[in-house]
Amino acid sequence: MRHQSVLLPTLLTALLLLSCMTPVQAQTEKETTCFAAQNSVVLDGRWTTPEEWQDSEQIVLTAHIGRDTPYEWTGNGTAYSRTKHDNNFLYVLIDFVSATKAEKDDGALVMLDGDHDAGTVLDNDDMGFQIVWASTATTKLDAYRGDSGSWVSIPVPGSTQAASSLDASNDPNSDTRHPTYEFKIPMSLFKSAEKIGFSAGVFQLTAKVLMLWPQDRSKVGPDTWGELAFSAVAVPEFSGLASPIVMFISACLSLLILRKTRKTDERKSDWPSCG
């Protein structure tokens, strides 16, 4: 009984850890997976619920130090991105947790190589979407398309949307007030249904902070962008820590059963052998 009193709380603790785990998968330096959405997205520029984006892979953005036309960037910060998709849309979240405010012209951008040709210059399958704060209360979405090595402004394609807010009340990365950005982009814009080129960025002009994935991508060089692979399945339920925990739980259960069997055998041996 003493052994059971130790094993049972330990087993319950392991089960609790398993139930609280967040499905975050490690991505390579320039590759990430866009899993099929299980939770619907409310496009309001925030984690609408703590579970809204948990069915996706988290990417860590890195500070770009140096010139990225037309600005010189010298600051550092902390930011994350997530992507997922359904049959109709690609959804992108950019979570700028180290920024405590959003000022005019602060914003976020995503760049997409729609046919995944990883060209050395921009062409018309390359698209960019940028949302900026037009004031401390309103945002503006702009769209761009590649044209012979340069970006040209175009009307925002139908059904493309973006939003931002400073509400971090449900954000698992940080509940301190900070800007979060969400994009909703039609899948019909992509010629490739398997992989596209992808880059995410977020910036704060007065602090001179530019956070990017991949870190040293060029705005005009799709061959320097990352790769986004669309998956038809949901994000794996557990991270790499899950397997050891499951093995530990199994071992605890086996030990409990073994001890119970031995106890039963001991009781049986004390029974009268005569009729």
Q: Which residue has the tokens 């059963």?
A: 257
Whether 80 and 111 share a structural domain: yes
Whether 95 and 119 share a structural domain: yes
The residue ranges of the chain whose pLDDT is under 70 are 1-28, 237-275
Question: 107-113 and 150-154 as β-strands: parallel, antiparallel, unpaired?
Answer: unpaired
Query: Residue 38: inside a domain, yes or no?
Result: yes
- Does residue 55 contact residue 236 with C-beta atoms inside 8 Å? no
Query: Residue 196: inside a domain, yes or no?
Result: yes
Q: Which residue has the tokens 């949307």?
A: 161
- CA 245 vs. chain centroid, Å, equals 24
pLDDT for the residue numbered 237:
63
- Does residue 98 contact residue 77 with C-beta atoms inside 8 Å? yes
Structure tokens at 121: 């210059």
pLDDT for the residue numbered 266:
42
For the chain, the domain total comes to 2
Closest listed residue to residue 90, CA positions, set 18, 204, 197, 175:
197
Whether 9 and 91 share a structural domain: no
Whether 13 and 124 share a structural domain: no
pLDDT for the residue numbered 192:
80
Domain of residue 15, residue span: 1-21+238-256
Closest listed residue to residue 248, CA positions, set 13, 6, 14, 2:
14
Encoded amino acid at 130, one letter:
Q
CA 26 – CA 24 distance, rounded (Å): 7
Encoded amino acid at 195, one letter:
K
List pLDDT tens digits, range 109-136: 999 999 999 999 999 999 999 999 999 8
Helix, strand and coil content of the chain, in percent to the nearest 5, comes to 20, 35, 45
Structure tokens at 242: 């899950």
